[in-house]
Amino acid sequence: MSTSAAAGPDELGDARSRPFVVWRTFLHPEQHRIAYRGSYSGPAQVSGGPGTGKTTIALHRAAHLAHRLAAHGPGGTVLLTTYARNLAEALDRQLALLVGDERAYRRVEVSGIDRLAMRTVRSALGLYPQTVSRPDLERAWDAAARRSGLPYGGGFLLREWEQVVLAQDIRDEEAYLACARPGRGTRLPRGRRAAVWRVIAEETGRLRAAGRWTYLQLADEAARLLRERAAPPYRHVVVDEAQDLHPAQWRLLRTAVAPGPDDLFLTGDPHQRIHDHRVSLSSLGIEVRGRSHRVRISYRTTQEILDWAVPILGGASAAGLDGADDDLEGYRSPVRGDRPAVLRAADAATEMAALAGQVRVWLDSGVEPSAIAVITRFFGMARAARETLTAAGVPTAFLGGGDERDTVQVGLMHKAKGLEFRCVAVVGASAGLVPHPSVLTAEDEDPVTRALDLQRERSLLFVACTRARDRLYVSYTGDPSPFLPAVP
């Protein structure tokens, strides 16, 4: 197993000069101490901004625990999990490079949280659960809202179910009528609550009758099933991008491993939260206070990129998983580089042509194709970018498609989460697209949720820009996104 650590400027420079796939496994001594600590007395958490090595720490911690299990004979598995399938696949590829011992590698199960929930339910019930797509789910709740006669849209009712009922594991009307509704801005009087509960009960009943599940329901059911087992399935659980898990998914992970030393190891950054999940870990039996580490030095992203990107967040603090507000005070990089390049294109065709030229410059300078990413907010622009690059003779693949060898990666901001590249082009950062009105809750429906929607869109753009290690290029047409820092 490689435990290489870059101690000073010379070693860090040497690490950054290595092939990009090798660079992604390097640790700074501070990170090394966290990852290879002999034992934690209970759940431990690592938080920090982009490029501070959280994912690398998680990988090394999983490798360390796996080697320890392998050295002590048969039995015991480490679960390495995260919120998205494509990120889990990337973690698995990196882990395979990091762990040299096949016996230790076999001790780690790498799985997205949805796949874990699906597999648990399928194994227990002997059937393959049929899931409902998000668009179909939203259409069903829109129809339910129209039938109800209530002055709320389907999106409001769906969020009430996911963010209050499922989040708090509420099983009956009495509990719903009495519960708090943190993060929900529209007050519901008792009579209205009862009517909302009837809609929720009716719509979830329709799902059951159709034999359909959402992934959050699967996580909830998987947690219930694991509670009934004689013993949890894992010895250790390591979680990356922890800030984007729903309380139902946390209940699943809590039941997947017995409480005790080295049970849960979590890494994440609340400023990169792209799903509106309000979580209090302590209320779910996961107490990290006294075992939390905050890493503030970005050894990946240059200071110039950080100086430009951090203002995208708008200066707001973020709610951490341990109940305390998290800020980026002291967040910095020892690495210097070029300022991000920002282009205002005359029209969409000009923006795409400029993108092709920029990617060609990077390739001609020796950057590996797989170390270049083109990131957009919506799929239509990602498809246009890929078609433009393909026509220019640049090999491409969609992010999350499993093909990253010798291809420039093109995809959505959501898919880029947790990944890193030497050079990143963010295209379509225009007013009216980032944010797009269709992804924002109406002000008169729920002003608190609208504010959270806006912050999520800020976080998405921040995530996209901070995927870059060495070079960042941002383009737009018309007016720039209101989230962009001042542009010429």
- pLDDT digits over 228-258, tens only? 999 999 999 999 999 999 999 999 999 999 9
Model confidence over 447-477: pLDDT tens digits?
A: 888 998 999 999 999 999 999 999 999 999 9
- Please give the torsion angle defined by the CA atoms of residues 91, 96, 97 and 99, in that order, rounded to the nearest 10 degrees: 110
Q: How far apart are CA 119 and CA 162, in angstroms?
A: 21
| Residue 1: pLDDT over 70 | no
Task: Return all residues near 102 (Cβ < 8 A) that are at least 6 apart.
Answer: none
Cis peptide before 435 (omega within 30 of 0): yes
269 is written with which tokens? 């950054």
Alpha helix ranges (H) inside 29-169: 29-35, 54-71, 85-98, 102-105, 113-125, 134-148, 154-160
Q: How far apart are CA 82 and CA 115, in angstroms?
A: 10
Q: Cα separations (Å) of 433 from 121, 347, 390, 448, 483?
A: 39, 14, 24, 21, 11
- How large a percentage of the chain has pLDDT more than 90? 77
Phi, then psi, of 5 in degrees rounded to 5: -130, 135
Q: How far apart are CA 13 and CA 15, in angstroms?
A: 5
Q: How many CB atoms lie within 10 A of CB 39?
A: 9
| Rounded mean pLDDT, 62-79 | 93
203 closest CA partner among 148, 273, 253: 148
Per-residue pLDDT band for 353 (boundaries 50, 70, 90) equals very high
Q: Which long-range contacts (CB under 8 A, 24 or more apart) does 120-127 make?
A: 120/222, 120/225, 120/226, 120/252, 121/213, 121/218, 121/221, 121/222, 121/225, 124/225
Q: How far apart are CA 458 and CA 185, in angstroms?
A: 20
| Residue 13: pLDDT over 80 | no
CA 204-207-211 angle, to 5 degrees, is: 140
Q: How many CB atoms lie within 10 A of CB 460?
A: 25
Per-residue pLDDT band for 11 (boundaries 50, 70, 90) equals low
**Predicted pLDDT at 31:** 93
* Residue 53 exposure: Cα atoms within 13 Å on the Cβ side: 26
Q: Which residues does residue 332 pair with via DSSP β-bridges, in sequence order?
A: 297
**pTM of the predicted model, to two decimals?**
0.91
Q: How far apart are CA 351 and CA 377, in angstroms?
A: 15
What is the pLDDT of the chain when averaged over all its residues?
Answer: 92
Question: Which residue ranges make up the annotated binding site for ATP?
Answer: 48-55
> Chain-centre distance of CA 235, in angstroms?
24
**CATH label, 9-118+218-298, candidates 3.40.605.10, 3.40.50.1980, 3.40.640.10, 3.40.50.300:** 3.40.50.300
**Predicted pLDDT at 394:** 97
Model confidence over 125-181: pLDDT tens digits?
A: 898 999 999 999 999 999 999 999 999 999 999 999 999 999 999 999 999 999 999
| Residue 185: pLDDT over 70 | yes
CATH (residue range 341-477)? 3.40.50.300
| Rounded mean pLDDT, 178-206 | 93
């230790």: which residue's tokens? Answer: 104
Radius of gyration of the chain (CA): 23
| Residue 14: pLDDT over 90 | no
186 closest CA partner among 150, 152, 139, 138: 152
CA 417-15-311 angle, to 5 degrees, is: 40
269 closest CA partner among 50, 27, 33: 50
Pairing, β 396-398 against β 408-412: parallel
85 is written with which tokens? 């399938």
Question: Which residue ranges make up the annotated binding site?
Answer: 48-55
Pairing, β 325-326 against β 130-131: unpaired
3-state class percentages of the chain: helix first, strand second, coil last, to nearest 5: 45, 15, 40
| Residue 319: pLDDT over 90 | no
- Please give the torsion angle defined by the CA atoms of residues 307, 313, 315 and 316, in that order, rounded to the nearest 10 degrees: -150
